[in-house]
Amino acid sequence: MTAPPGKPVWQQVLCIAEGDQLRANAVSPYYGGLPDVVQGFVTMAKHTAHLRGSEALLRVLRMDYPGSPFGPSDPVYAVRFTTDSVASVFSTDKPMARSMGRDGGADLGYGPPYTGNGFTGTAEFTIPEFWMVDGVLDPLAELWYVPPTDGERLAAVLTASKEWVGVAGFDH
């Protein structure tokens, strides 16, 4: 996905079930029931562009937390998008904690992989992590299918009428 100058391309990783719901326009309550809204943890797509396959993406983003819907070798979907309309984007550090009424630092009550310092990652890669509330996706947002090792494929594109349209011939 390319973006106009000055507009970052964001990314949110989804498990297969969530991505399939998006492709079918049967949007999860996690998204507020809207096909063009993102909420939750996001990263800038450029920070993970060097990674190949879901195994690397899940490892670096530390999606291996207890109770995670992701297995270490599971394929995933990645929503890549730009936005002009966001209720809020927070770095996941002390300012985020303060915005949620917690004065004692960044302990938001989350367990690992949440670090409370604004970053996620491993010893080899550190990636800035953000919390997005009501990010309204610009038209032409993309839903990518990412298999375990390589060869991601475009699965769907968001239209101006806020509908995900599948790419012809896509099958996972």
Domain locations in the chain as residue ranges:
10-166
Q: Per residue in 44-92, pLDDT tens?
A: 999 999 999 999 999 888 887 778 889 989 999 999 999 987 766 766 6
Task: Provide the whole-model pTM.
Answer: 0.82
Task: Of 50, 58, 90, 87, give the one whose Cα is nearest residue 75.
Answer: 58
Name 19's Cβ contacts closer than 8 Å, sequence gap at least 6: 76, 77, 79, 143, 145, 155
Beta carbons of 5 and 34 less than 8 angstroms apart: no
- DSSP H or E run through 148: none
Beta carbons of 77 and 16 less than 8 angstroms apart: yes
User: Which SS3 state, helix, strand or coil, does residue 91 take?
Assistant: strand
Query: Looking at residue 138, what DSSP letter applies?
Result: P
Report for 20-24, 132-136, 146-150: range of highest mean pLDDT: 146-150
> To the nearest whole number, what is the mean pLDDT of the chain?
81
Outline where DSSP puts E strands in 4-141.
10-14, 37-44, 76-81, 85-91, 119-121, 126-128, 130-136
Q: Per residue in 87-146, pLDDT tens?
A: 667 666 655 556 655 554 444 555 555 666 666 766 677 788 877 888 889 999 999 999
For residues 9 and 64, give the distance between their C-alpha atoms in angstroms, rounded to a whole number.
Answer: 24
User: Which SS3 state, helix, strand or coil, does residue 11 take?
Assistant: strand
**What is the token pair recorded at 126?**
């550190």
